[in-house]
Amino acid sequence: MRGFLLNRLSQSLILLLIVSIIGFVVLNLLPGGPLAQFGLDPGMTQDDLDRLKEQLGLNRPLWMQYLDWIWRLLQGDWGHSFRDNAPVLSVIGRHLFATLLLMGTSTAIAIAIGTWIGIRGATHRYSLFDHLATVGAMVALSIPTFWFGLVGIYIFSLKLGWVPAGNMYTIGDGSVLNYLHHLILPSIVLSLVHVAIWSRYMRTSTLDAISQDFVKTARAKGLTERRVIMKHVVGNALLPMITLAGVQLPSILTGALVTETVFTWPGMGRLFLDSLGYSDYPVVMGLLMFSAILVILGNLIADIAVAIVDPRIRLG
Amino acid sequence: MAASIQAVAPHDVALSVRDLTVTLPQGMERTHAVENISFDLKRGQILCIIGESGSGKSVTANAIMGLLPRVIRISSGSIHLDGTNIIRMPSEKLRSLRGRIVSMIFQDPLSALNPLMTVGAQIDEVMAAHGVGTPKSRRGRALELLTEVGLPDPELMYHQYPFRLSGGQRQRVMIAMALALEPTILIADEPTTALDVTTQAQILELVRDIQRRKGMSVMFITHDFGVVAEIADSVVVMEKGRIVEHGSAQQVLKSPSHPYTRRLIAAVPRLTGEDRVPLETANKAPILKVENLVKTYREGGVLFGKQRVVPAVNEVSFDLAPGRTLGVVGESGSGKSSLGRLLIKLLDSDGGGILFEGRDIAKLSEAEFRPLRPRVQMIFQDPFASLNPRSTVGHILTVGPVAHGSPYAQAREEAKALLAHVGLDAGAFGRYPHEFSGGQRQRIGIARALMFKPKLLIADEAVSALDVSIQAQILQLLDQIQRETGVSMIFITHDLRVASQICDEIAVMQKGRIVERGPPSQIFLDPQSAYTRELVAAIPGEQPDGTRPVAANG
Amino acid sequence: MTERSNTNPNYSRRDALRLMALGGAAGLIAPNLLGKPAFAQNPPASPTGRVIVGFSQEPTVFNPLMPHTECDDAVHFSVFDALVRMDPKGVLQPNLVAEVPSQKNGGISEDGLLWRIRLRDDVRWHDGQPFTAEDVKFTLELITNPKFRAWRTAGHSLVRDIKVVSPTELTWRMEEAFAPYLSFLAETFMVPKHILEKEADPNAAAFNQAPVGTGAFKWAQRIAGDHIELVANTDYAGAGPYLERLVFKYIPDMTVLYTQFKSGDIDLVDQAFITADNYAEASTLPDRVVMLERGASVESIYLNLEKPQFKDPAVRQALYAAIDRKAILEGLYYGVHNPTETFMPQNSYYYNPNLPAQEFNIERARQILDEAGWVPGSDGIRVKDGVRLSFANSTTSGNHLREQTQQFLQQTFAEIGVEMTISNLPAAVMWGDFWLKSQFESAISGVTNVIAGDPDVANRLHTKAIVAKGGKGSNTGQYSNPEVDALLDKGTRTFDREERRAIYLRVQEIVRQDLPFLPLFAYANVFGRKKGLEGFEANSNARVASWHAAGWHWKD
């Protein structure tokens, strides 16, 4: 286990290094830059821009900026946001809760419903339910999320008035109930795609498991069909899904770009768009590293979770 | 025949099948999986159902268990379990019979146990499903069962996960599970086919032993007349969904009445104990000389953690003369397959030499070996997996030679000639692998290997997946080819009987070493090592003197 | 000069942010900024209620001296005070000063070099400390501190020898006379010396995340990515505030911004306002007041005057005559914007309303070119002295309205024998060197020409402001007219309002005649607020609608 972790750690560091270099170079090669918007400010002179460029260290060669950045990063200093004048970690931290709340809820919905649909589709293959689920998944995957979001707001907020038209809570009312009320529409809209993906994978995985010999054994033992499915099929079908969940972990934080914008949700997805639009390099780099670390963590957690669940790996 | 068994008194009969017809969905090869079959399983007896693949024997077993897939339906007939007709029985009632009145064990114990549950939990589950006992009493019973099926340290075994167990141990767990509620009938669907020969002998003995002690009725499905000879009281022979012969084991084995039965028995490879007439070749210099070949697998962490060192091939030496066949036999894990892969350089060796036509190829790089590769060809166990399903047979055969520089037209003509040679018609050239049966695919595999006019053929379990009658044909084909082309062969198999059919010399491998080498007469009639003796003794239905036990005892 | 461009063409809300111009309620009564507004409809005795203002860009910079964009102004105007404020009519009003310095009252010397500032004596910081001349000195010196990442330094860099005479009086000397500086001071908010002087690095001060000012509202809290909450400063020296809470809510999508205005989640729409396409519908909403306010920004076709095609004034006149502005405005822009003949905002005191109006007349355009000797060639395109009357037009790719405008122009220009090709570029490329270093042939651009309401446009029209010729500034069209140069030089040295007005009226006249660029229209902004929110007025001299929240209150 220790060897495995060390091996993983060294791989991860190399991955992070590569991600950081590519990210840094690509970001800096994009036209514009953090001062571009001030270049169009009628009161800003070229002297002002040159001065700011120097003060921010943007006049140095790219490799020097990168080395400086990574050297500070190694010391735990993620840099300062250009846009926010605050440390990058604190900027990210401020947006973390909103995203975790939204993505956590929608992921929970997606996994619960997706798993159920997948299992039912597989155990009732080619039934009306299965066909509807297949068509539904295709619809959910082919229609952009923002469209669902806008239609949802139009119908359920503006026309029916059941749920708020976006925002995380009513300003001045921070009650849990108020949060939950605001959470309903965006989390459902966001989970649609994930339900679709998850149910498709779960269906395939369940079909795989159903065809295994031990399922036949379980039936031959006289188990009820319900127990055969719940105990023998689902358990084994969920194994590959753990890995999928691990791979999807990073998207929990960055996967809500559009939904957060449509629902005015102050999360990381929007932070990413705003920072990118502003060329706020330190924050964009911070988010990039953050999600790269999440990719690594997601895979690691998935591997560990699989090891915990699967005795062949845990004990083998 | 059906009329003669109508009259059996019900209480003598544990299982009675009458005029059973099972319909297959449209578009299959046959309209019926089984058609009008009738047989009885008498109490306290072992009934063997024997047949080749597609004979309908497994469908029969599944029909009795009520486990047929939804698309396959019983269209007529009856199945009486302990006097109760189970056909059209409500599914809940049928479920309550499974595991309690009738239990089943399967062919592949590796996949028949849930990998995520402990052995104990899986045994416990049978009893719990039928509402038997308390958790405590069930645990006691499970330990008892584990002891009964001869598993060491039942307490430990109870908490083990299946992957920790060997194939034989897993099959014992399956048997323990099947016995948990002392069912009237045990259905065993090829329970030993996937096991090594020595393990197979042990499991057969266990089944027979338990059957005798419990007075259970066993329906034993097999394709192996050796197994029939070992344990059967009576035999049902099936062919293409029909029962062609039915009678006592002695009767069927000794004086089979139906030509199909006779053909099957004749096709069973048996220990000849006679050496093959060696092929005369001009060149006596060994085509292959292997010296102290070593291959070691290392498992586990690179930096930390304990590393497991598994010697797969350990100081193996032998030589092979032109036109001769060397059999390499051994059980799983003996290193025989690794040896094959080393010889064709699919694996790199860790030490020793492989002299092919006097040149040491062990140390050659891939590039240096490439010109030699056409001269050493391999035939695989699973012909389907080794043939690209998207390519025509013609393409499969010609792509290699063309890549090595042959003009396509020439390769095509050679391919067509070879197809005819291996017993396929010329139309095969434009067809796809899935259009062929297992035996035909293996013929294609052989033709592909021969396209290169190899000096050495390595056949790795080349006939193991085939039915016995097909097996015999392929062995005959290989023998014929060797006599015509003078190719040398290394024939890797777990089946000593098969090896005895085709090999000039046999090397017995155990734990990476060759423990004995000699002509079949020596290996089977006068084995020198204890391990070889053990192996030979475990061959079902065979005695080294070439007589069959039932016949001899009867 | 402000350019209506952006660095991210795919991001529609940023597109909208380019609407840097602000509407101004022409003809509305000018409030006495720190006195009781003349029109106030009985504001409550103590601050009550709350207003939520929606922005499509997030305010993130709270130190008003650091580089920031327009939306941040809303926070600065509410939390801080400047020495003076520019009212909607373009007249400077006292804010922290006791009276606006002028040559008449002796605040500014005759040569414009010596400045004497008298401050109010009753102003306190939000933490209770008194506001004094030391704070002003500290603020002005911090701006030019090389270690400090200051925003604009134009004008400030000319200030020398700041002397604190008393807590309410200070003087300084200007390196040269620079009249626009007074206007610049309207956007220079005062920061507290007693807090910031303790900071080793003013760039990373805690103050920057929780500002302390003298303004009508105090900092309460910020939910990053969502909103900023301010509370009433009950000790405010001026009139107001009448609201207990002021919330600036960030709504990143323009459609959603409008939706939340409709649903009532926000009380007032600030930057980037209601989009023109929603104007008609918004006007019909019940319980909402929707106003069309003139902005400061002007959309024009810029001609690179160093290109041989554009050197001939006849060509520029002919092109101008061939533009069907009415069709463009009504057909593409929902009729919300206004035709204009000048670069000056229409609400400005310095706006020249007497310029000749453009007339769409294809015949006239042809005639001008015929008379000037531009003869159609074999392909129908006019030629003179070997110069083919063909040019490329560029703008931000992905800006659909401008792209449609281009196609429209292409057709009408073709009718007079002029070939215009379309060659658009991504925003970051378009408004980089390509624009700044005059590499384009012609371009469509929306520009705010004035800073803080001051009429000085030297940066845009002076010969010294041509970067391509080694100058400093944004005269990207390379316009050069010695008479205009002289007038602009005089304008920056002239402090008298009337004198300045005369100068800039004349500049507009000449420029209208020279046509260095062809004005298409002056932007208007669609303001929206809930009925019952009173005390609100638009000000095209400020960049945000929330420039004077101190005066807002709810009816009843």
Q: What CA–CA distance (Å, rounded) separates B495 from C167?
A: 108
Residues whose CB falls within 8 Å of the CB of residue B483, separated by 6 or more in sequence, listed in order: B279
CB atoms inside a 10 Å sphere around CB A26: 10
Is C54's pLDDT higher than 90?
yes
Select the residue of A2, A216, A235 nearest B67 (Cβ to Cβ): A216
pLDDT digits 0-9 by tens, B224-233: 888 888 889 9
> Given this model, what pLDDT does residue B472 score?
84
- Taking residues C250-257, what's their average pLDDT? 87
Q: Residue C84 in contact with residue C92, Cβ under 8 Å? A: yes
State the pLDDT confidence band at B139, using cuts at 50, 70 and 90. very high
3-class SS letters over B372-391:
HHHHEEEECCCCCCCCCCCC
Asked if pLDDT for residue B470 goes beyond 50, the answer is yes
Task: Report the gap between the CA of C460 and the closest CA in chain A (Å).
Answer: 9
Q: How many CB atoms lie within 10 A of CB B531?
A: 20
The beta-carbon neighbor of A40 closest among C146, C253, C431 is C431
pLDDT tens digits, A220-268: 888 888 888 988 898 889 888 888 888 777 776 666 777 888 888 888 8
- Of the candidates C157, C165, C162, the residue with the CA atom closest to the CA atom of residue C173: C162
Vertex C481, ends C475 and C483: CA angle to 5°? Answer: 125
pLDDT tens for each residue of C261-270: 988 889 999 9
Q: Which of the residue ranges A158-172, B401-415, B449-463, C144-158 has the most confident prediction, judged by mean pLDDT?
A: C144-158
For residue B9, pLDDT beyond 60: no
pLDDT level of residue B234 (50, 70, 90 thresholds):
very high
What pLDDT score does A2 carry?
66
User: What 3 state SS string does A274-303 have?
Assistant: HHHHHCCHHHHHHHHHHHHHHHHHHHHHHH
Instruction: Report the residue of chain A nearest B62, measured CA to CA.
Output: A220
Using pLDDT thresholds of 50, 70 and 90, give the confidence band for residue C191. Answer: very high
Q: Is the pLDDT of residue A216 over 80?
A: yes
Q: Could B303 and A219 be called an inter-chain contact, meaning their C-beta atoms sit closer than 8 Å?
A: no
- CA pair distance A192, A199, nearest whole angstrom: 11
pLDDT at B299: 60
Closest CA to B222 of B182, B175, B187: B187
**CB proximity list for C27: less than 8 A, separation 6 or greater:** none
Mean of pLDDT values over B288-301: 80
pLDDT at B25 (0 to 100): 81
| pLDDT for the residue C30 | 39
Q: How confident is the model at residue B542, as a pLDDT?
A: 60
Q: Which residue did the predictor score with more confidence, C39 or A27?
A: A27
Q: What's the topology of domain B288-538?
A: Rossmann fold (3.40.50)
pLDDT at A145 over 90: no
Which stretch of B531-535, C33-37, C367-371, C384-388 has the lowest confidence by average pLDDT?
C33-37
Q: So what's the pLDDT on residue A255? A: 62
Per-residue pLDDT at A254:
64
pLDDT digits (tens, 9 = 90+) for C218-233: 999 998 889 999 999 9
- How far is the C-alpha of B219 from the C-alpha of B170, rounded, in Å? 20
- Tens digit of pLDDT for each residue in B63-94? 998 888 878 888 889 999 888 888 888 888 88
Helices (H), C145-209: 181-184, 193-196
pLDDT the model gives residue A253: 66
Q: Pick from A4, A217, A239: which is nearest to B106 by CB?
A: A217
Has the ipTM of the complex gone over 0.85? no
> Which residue from C341, C353, C257 is spatially nearest to C545, judged by alpha carbons?
C257
The shares of helix, strand and coil residues in chain B, as percent rounded to the nearest 5, are 40, 25, 35
Residue A235: per-residue pLDDT: 87
Three state DSSP letters for B210-264:
HHHHHCCEEEEEECCHHHHHHHCCEEEEEECCEEEEEEEHHHHHHCCCCHHHHHH
Residue-wise pLDDT for C396-448, tens only, equals: 888 888 999 999 999 999 999 999 999 998 877 888 788 888 999 999 998 88
Q: Please indicate whether, in this complex, the C-beta atoms of C6 and A168 are within 8 angstroms of each other.
A: no
* CA B157 and chain centroid, separation: 27
Has residue B456 got a pLDDT over 60?
Answer: yes
Asked if B111 and A213 come within 8 Å (Cβ–Cβ), the reply is: yes
d(CA C4, CA C521): 13
- Whether residue A153 has pLDDT greater than 60: yes
- The mean per-residue pLDDT over the stretch A25-29 comes to 85
A42 CB neighbour count, 10 Å cutoff:
21
- List subunits contacting chain B, requiring 3 or more Cβ pairs under 8 Å: A
Q: Give the Cα-Cα-Cα angle C76, C82, C87 (nearest 5 degrees).
A: 90
- Partner B contacted by A4 (CB < 8 A): yes
Tell me: the pLDDT tens digits for B181-210? Answer: 888 899 998 888 777 888 888 888 888 888
Residue B307 pLDDT? 58
Instruction: Select the residue of B99, B113, B161 nearest A214 (Cβ to Cβ).
Output: B113
Quickly tell me which residue has 């599944």 as its tokens. Answer: B62
Give me chain A's average pLDDT, please. Answer: 85
Q: What is the pLDDT of residue B554?
A: 28
Cα dihedral: C74, C76, C82, C84 (round 10): 0
| Higher-scoring residue by pLDDT: B442, C246 | C246
A109 strand-pairing partners: none
pLDDT of residue A252: 66
Distance CA B519, CA B527 (A): 10
A52 min Cα distance to partner chain C (Å): 6
Q: CB distance from A3 to chain B under 8 Å?
A: yes
pLDDT computed for residue A264 by the predictor: 85
* Average pLDDT score over chain C: 87
Would you tell me which residues 58-97 of chain A have a C-beta closer than 8 angstroms to some C-beta of chain C? 80-81, 83-86, 91, 94-95
A173 touches chain C (CB under 8 A): no
Q: Mean pLDDT, to the nearest integer, of C73-84?
A: 94
- A-C contacts at Cβ under 8 angstroms: 163
Say what the pLDDT of residue B546 is.
41
Lowest-pLDDT range, A200-209, B89-98, B420-429, C416-425? Answer: B420-429
Hey, is B114 helix, strand or coil?
coil
Sheet holding C159-166, edge to edge: C114-118, C169-174, C159-166
Give C204's contacts in chain A (Cβ within 8 Å). 80, 85
Burial class of C44 by CB neighbour count within 10 A (0 to 12, 13 to 18, 19+)? middle
| Lowest-pLDDT choice from A278-292, B371-385, C2-16, C395-409 | C2-16
Distance CA B260, CA C544 (A): 97
- Chain B contact present for A235, CB below 8 A: yes
Structure tokens at C412: 């009408």
Identify the pLDDT of residue A280: 87
**Chain C interface test: which of A264, A272, A279 (most C C-beta within 10 Å):** A264
* CB-count burial class (<10 Å; 0-12, 13-18, 19+) for B407: exposed
Task: Using alpha carbons, list the distances in angstroms from residue C52 to B525, C260, C264, C269.
Answer: 100, 11, 10, 9
Which pLDDT tens digit goes with each residue over C486-524?
999 999 999 998 999 999 999 999 999 999 999 999 999
User: What pLDDT does B552 receive?
Assistant: 31
Write down the pLDDT at residue B551.
32
pLDDT digits (tens, 9 = 90+) for C101-131: 999 898 999 999 999 999 999 999 999 999 9
Which of A35, A77, A85 best tests the C interface by mutation, with the highest count of C CBs <10 A? A85
What pLDDT is stored for residue C21 in this prediction? 32
A52–chain C Cβ distance below 8 A for any pair: yes
Do A236 and B129 count as a contact with CB atoms less than 8 A apart? no
Which residues from chain B sit within 8 angstroms of residue A6, using beta carbons? Answer: 303-304
Q: Is the pLDDT of residue A274 over 90?
A: no
pTM: 0.75
Can you read off the two tokens belonging to residue B418? 């070879």
**Smallest Cβ distance to C58: which of A51, A263, A274?**
A274
With DSSP H G I counted as helix, E B as strand and the rest as coil, what are the percentages for chain C, rounded to 5? 30, 25, 50
CA distance A228 to B104: 16
Asked whether B183 and B99 are in contact (CB, 8 A), the reply is yes
Beta carbons within 8 Å of B92's beta carbon, 6+ residues apart: none
Distance, CA of C131 to chain centre:
29
Cα gap C105→C115, rounded to integer Å: 11
Preferred mutation among A26, A35, A40 to probe C, highest tally of C CBs within 10 A? A40
Distance separating alpha carbons of residues B328 and B316, to the nearest angstrom: 12
Token pair belonging to C140 = 């002005």
Q: What is the DSSP secondary-structure string of A97-154?
A: HHHHHHHHHHHHHHHHHHHHHHHHHHHTTTSHHHHHHHHHHHHHHHS-HHHHHHHHII
Answer whether residue B477 shows pLDDT above 70.
Answer: yes
